[in-house]
Amino acid sequence: NWQMGDFVQLEIARIRDLVGDRALVLGACSGGVDSTVGAALMREAIGDRFKAIFIDNGCMRLNERDEVKEKLAQHLGINLTVVDAGELFLSRLEGVTDPEKKRKIIGSTFIDLFEKEAIRIEKEAENTPNSGKVEWFLQGTLYPDVIESLSFRGPSATIKTHHNVGGLPETRLTGLLLQLIEPLRLLFKDEVRAIGRQLGIHESLVNRHPFPGPGIAIRILGDVTKERVEIARKADHIFISKIKEAGLYDQISQAYAGLDTNRSVGVFGDQRVWGYIIILRAVRTKDFMSAEVFNFDHSFLADVSRTICNQVEGVARVVYDLTSKPPGTIELE
């Protein structure tokens, strides 16, 4: 008889047992429900020996990193270390248009930065009561990712992992071999949400739509430049704010505004402009393996389109993606 309350207690005990009383654990905290619930369990289990890191890859949503930092501090007492690496990511992404190349570059840059953080954290912990080696890396892997055994494309994961049959998975941060700790590996998303609620995590974190590790980079077709990220980010913020205002957020599984490679002609006042094209996408899904398009009222979409064209400079056209999955993926790339 499966009891969520038992899960939390058993998992905390398992984490303590695995990690012991010296080792440090590094964890990527994105603000998503999986990493937040994982972080809450770690914090409960080993306190300050859990080190939460947020890497800003320059492709996050508007105000995301400040909001995540604030919420984790406020609701979980977690002191999130923010690594501001936007310039580095964008410089490595310059001229890269191939979707899988984008993912590889972003993934390996995350790894480089986590390794740097691990070294910094060990140094910082020296000569304190919490001195120890970083031996573990928290991963918000869910059961569906475990089945696929390839969590790189799972909703929560940023780093490719390999699940050895019978053994604990490991991850190599360039020169550093860390063991993976995966407290959610037996759970489905709705169970993670239930546990999040049980742990007292705020509804705004528990109910968040998933956001991919590479962020806006895989919602921008073609070049990822600072200017193009800015445009997609502003449009996305308008779309999501309107969705929330209309009370539709919880009926939608995932929604965003992306950017097309092409431009199109528009008229502003008496001028013809060569403007950007925003692609809106909103889907409903249970498992993210297949998805259906969300049915908005036309008037809602028309209002979003008008607001984006008025408020986001350079945008001349807004389209709504009507493709279900399959054949379309949820992300644009």
Residues that bind ligand XMP (CB under 6 A): 103, 153, 155, 157-158, 210, 212-214, 218, 254, 288, 325, 329-331
State the residue for tokens 């603000």.
Answer: 31
Annotated binding-site residue? 47: no
- The answer to whether 29 and 78 are in contact (CB under 8 A) is yes
CB-nearer residue toward ligand XMP: 55 or 121: 55
- From the number of C-beta atoms within 10 Å of its C-beta (0-12, 13-18, 19+), residue 325 rates as middle
Annotated binding-site residue? 196: no
Least Cβ distance, residue 103 to ligand XMP (angstroms): 5
CB-nearer residue toward ligand XMP: 120 or 153: 153
Which residues, other chains included, contact 262 with Cβ-Cβ below 8 Å and sequence gap of 6+? 277
Annotated binding-site residue? 32: yes
Annotated binding-site residue? 215: no
Say if residue 327 is preceded by a cis peptide, omega within 30 of 0: yes
Least Cβ distance, residue 102 to ligand XMP (angstroms): 9
Annotated binding-site residue? 107: no
Least Cβ distance, residue 333 to ligand XMP (angstroms): 8
CB-nearer residue toward ligand XMP: 96 or 273: 96
CB-nearer residue toward ligand XMP: 32 or 132: 32
Least Cβ distance, residue 147 to ligand XMP (angstroms): 14
One DSSP character per residue, 272-329 reads EEEEEEEEEEEEE-SSSSSBEE----HHHHHHHHHHHHHHSTTEEEEEE----BTTS-
247 CA to centre of own chain = 23
Adjacent-strand bridge partners of 271: 268
Known binding residues? 30-36
Known binding residues for ATP? 30-36
